[in-house]
Amino acid sequence: MNQSDRAIAALQKFLDTPLDKNLQRAVEGDAKSNVLTLFQEVAKGIPAYQQFLQERNIDPASIQAFEDFQTLPLMTKANYAHKYPLPQLCRNGQLESCDMIAASSGSTGKPTFWLRSVSDELAIATRFEQIFSDSFQADSKRTLAVVCFALGTWVGGLYTLNCCRHLAAKGYPITSIAPGSNKTEIFRVIQELAPHFEQVVLLGYPPFLKDAIDSGRVRGIPWQDYGIKLVMAGEVFSEEWRSLVGERLGSSNPCYDSATLYGTADAGVLGNETPLSIAIRRFFSQNPEAARQLFGESRLPTLVQYDPLSRFFETQDGTLLFSGDNGIPLIRYHIADTGGIVPHSAMLEFLRDWGCDPIALLQSYRDRMVDAALRDRGIHPLPFVYVFGRSNFIVSYFGANLYPENITVGLEQPEIREWVTGKFVMEAFEDAQKNRVLSITVELAPNEEPTAERERAIANAVRQQLLRLNSEFANYVPSESQTPRILLKPTGDPEDFPLGVKHRYTRSPQEKRGT
Q: Mean pLDDT across the chain, nearest whole number?
A: 90
Encode 66-99: b = buried (16+ Cβ within 10 Å), e = exposed.
eeebeebeebebeebbebbebbbbbbebebebbb
Is residue 158 located within the same domain as residue 177? yes
Q: What is the DSSP string of 126-142?
A: HHHHHIIIIIT-TTSS-
User: Does any domain span residue 502?
Assistant: no
Is residue 326 located within the same domain as residue 470? no
Is residue 323 located within the same domain as residue 445? no
Please give the pLDDT value at position 110: 65
| Residue 389 or residue 394, greater confidence | 394
User: Does any domain span residue 508?
Assistant: no
Please give the pLDDT value at position 177: 97
- Whether 470 contacts 406, CB under 8 Å: yes
- Whether 118 contacts 98, CB under 8 Å: no
pLDDT in tens, 396-431: 887 788 888 889 999 999 989 999 999 999 998 877
| Residue 436 or residue 307, greater confidence | 307
* Total number of domains constituting the chain: 3
Please give the pLDDT value at position 515: 36
Is residue 379 located within the same domain as residue 399? no
Reported as a pLDDT band with limits 50, 70 and 90, residue 392 is low
Q: Please, how many CA atoms are within 13 Å of residue 372, restricted to the half-sphere of its CB? A: 0
User: Does any domain span residue 504?
Assistant: no
- Residue from 411, 415, 410, 393 nearest 402 by CA: 393
Helices assigned H by DSSP within 300-375: 344-353, 358-366
Residue that is last in its domain, among 363, 389, 415: 389
Strands 258-264 and 228-233 turn out to be parallel
Please give the pLDDT value at position 391: 57
> Model pTM greater than 0.85?
no
Is residue 278 located within the same domain as residue 317? yes
Residue that is last in its domain, among 354, 373, 389: 389
Please give the pLDDT value at position 169: 97
The Cα 263–Cα 306 span in angstroms is 11
| Residue 92 or residue 436, greater confidence | 92
User: Does any domain span residue 110?
Assistant: no
Is residue 27 located within the same domain as residue 145? no
pLDDT in tens, 267-317: 899 999 999 999 999 999 999 999 999 999 878 999 999 999 999 999 999
The Cα 398–Cα 314 span in angstroms is 33
CA distances from 372 to 1, 88, 172 (A): 45, 52, 20
User: Does any domain span residue 109?
Assistant: no
Q: Which helix (H) or strand (E) holds 475?
A: helix 471-476
Is residue 382 located within the same domain as residue 441? no
Is residue 366 located within the same domain as residue 399? no
User: Does any domain span residue 351?
Assistant: yes
Reported as a pLDDT band with limits 50, 70 and 90, residue 374 is low
- Residue from 318, 375, 367, 368 nearest 341 by CA: 318
pLDDT in tens, 471-507: 888 888 878 889 999 999 999 999 999 876 677 888 8
Q: Which residues contact 24 (CB under 8 A, 6 or more apart)?
A: none
The Cα 331–Cα 322 span in angstroms is 7
Encode 16-36: b = buried (16+ Cβ within 10 Å), e = exposed.
eeebeebbeebeeeebeeebb
Is residue 58 located within the same domain as residue 168? no
Is residue 379 located within the same domain as residue 401? no
CATH code, domain carrying 436: 3.30.300.30
User: Does any domain span residue 503?
Assistant: no
User: Does any domain span residue 506?
Assistant: no
Residue range of the domain that includes 157? 116-389
Q: Which helix (H) or strand (E) holds 113?
A: strand 111-116
pLDDT in tens, 54-65: 999 999 999 999
Please give the pLDDT value at position 103: 83
Is residue 297 located within the same domain as residue 401? no
DSSP state of 80: I
Q: State the amino acid at position 298 in one-letter form.
A: S
CATH code, domain carrying 195: 3.40.50.12780
Sign of CA dihedral 427, 428, 433, 435: positive
**Cβ neighbourhood burial of 280 (10 Å; 0-12, 13-18, 19+):** buried
DSSP state of 172: -
Please give the pLDDT value at position 510: 54
Is residue 369 located within the same domain as residue 474? no
Interval 236-254 mean pLDDT: 90
Residue that is last in its domain, among 389, 414, 431: 389
The Cα 130–Cα 339 span in angstroms is 23
